[in-house]
Amino acid sequence: MPLPDREREVLTTIIEAYIVTAAPVGSRTVSKQSHLGLSPASIRNIMADLTDEGYLEQPHTSAGRVPTARAFRFYLDEVMHERPLPDAQKQRIAAILSSAGLELSNILRQTSRLLSGLSLQVAMVVAPRHADTRWKRIDFSLLNPGLVMVILVLQGGLVRNRVIQTAVEVTADDLTAYANF
């Protein structure tokens, strides 16, 4: 359900002030920074409603309010608007990423540099944790008797391989059956 205009304006003002200061935002600040022309007491009432609705938290009794994850989700979905990238910037991004090659660590490194350069902020790009990724495919390759290379392809393009020793002699047909299983 969308927020009424007054609540939306108060919430937007709190989020933007919080982004700048990283400190709880009080009703007086909202009263001065918003375009509503309301008194701090009226703002406090709206802030109380937003707290009840799960958009704000109050760290302690006399503190201002802090946006919750729900508030930031609202801000991203309802307030911020995507601006299309200019074609020249799209071409630059494509050129830089295509020069990174196929190695995932190089792609992540270049992506982080690009993101930092475009946003003028610190950026970090990380691959998903191995525990959170899903298998896409597994293959086995017989290197020598008793020595097998395991190739694991994960969603998202991650590839892991290991050479393992087997306790028993396995054939290439056995390994194909294991991969199919």
> Which runs of consecutive H residues, i.e. helices, occur in 22-152?
27-33, 40-52, 69-74, 87-98, 104-119
Q: Is the pLDDT of residue 104 over 80?
A: no
Tell me phi and psi for residue 151, to 5 degrees. -120, 120
Q: Is the pLDDT of residue 131 over 80?
A: no
Q: Residue 18: what pLDDT?
A: 94
Q: How far apart are CA 31 and CA 11, in angstroms?
A: 12
Find tokens 């009840």 and name the residue. Answer: 52
Residue type (1 letter), 97: L
Q: Is the pLDDT of residue 128 over 70?
A: no
Q: Residue 1: what pLDDT?
A: 64
Q: Is the pLDDT of residue 133 over 80?
A: no
| Per-residue pLDDT band at 120 (split at 50, 70, 90) | confident
| Per-residue pLDDT band at 67 (split at 50, 70, 90) | very high
Q: Are 147 and 161 in contact (CB under 8 A)?
A: no
Q: How far apart are CA 174 and CA 180, in angstroms?
A: 10
> Which runs of consecutive H residues, i.e. helices, occur in 77-166?
87-98, 104-119
Q: Are 134 and 144 in contact (CB under 8 A)?
A: no
Burial of 21 (0-12, 13-18, 19+ CB in 10 A): exposed
Total residues found in the chain within this entry: 181
Q: Residue 168: what pLDDT?
A: 74
Helix (H, G, I), strand (E, B) or coil at 161: strand
Q: Residue 130: what pLDDT?
A: 62
Compute CA 172 distance to the chain's CA centroid, rounded to the nearest angstrom: 42
User: Beta strands 66-67 and 56-57: pairing type?
Assistant: antiparallel
Q: How far apart are CA 64 and CA 28, in angstroms?
A: 9
Q: Residue 56: what pLDDT?
A: 96
Q: Is the pLDDT of residue 179 over 90?
A: no
